Amino acid sequence: MKKYIFIVVGLFIFISIANEIYTQVNKKDAKSKRVECQEHSTMFEKVVNKELLNTLQKSLKSGSVDVEVTAQKSTYMKSKLFEYVKESDIKDNFLKLVNKNRDTKATAKVDILIYENDKKDPGKKTAKSKLYAGYLVLSFNIQSTLVYKIQIDFMDDKGRDVQRVLECALNSAKTIK
């Protein structure tokens, strides 16, 4: 009888440890790749307010969105990106992606920061930190409350891949759980 108790307890401990290892190995972190488009960029995402996530996703799908775009140019090197990429174009392109319904009152607000990578910044010491051209940070808000935030790098110095990054960010926001 004692032998069977030891076997059952040992089996329980083994299953518990194996389950914990499996959970840790398959755990998604900030750099996880949930959506296919995320495989092509370095990205970070975070759900800040899970209760409002469903409301945000409904707003994105219905086009009930306002957008504000700001730019951060490089300071140590001559800015070149914004000769090719305009804040107004980013805003218009994002609104087209969500099929903005102009008659609908916006329930969501998306703040987009386009950041130009300053490759001559003395704080950037590694070659890897100088590979990308910039990144987009999209903050998705409902009633001034941050719900979801995503940052995705783009590689082209003329911003030719910014549209793809916008599409990826929107797809990521629509599909996160």
Reported as a single tens digit per residue, the pLDDT across 125-162 is 788 888 889 999 999 999 999 999 999 999 999 999 99
pLDDT per residue as tens digits for the range 84-98: 999 999 999 998 988
Side chain identity, residue 104: T
Token pair 């001034």 is found at: 144
Does 172 have pLDDT greater than 70? yes
Is residue 135 within 8 Å of residue 112, measured between CB atoms? no
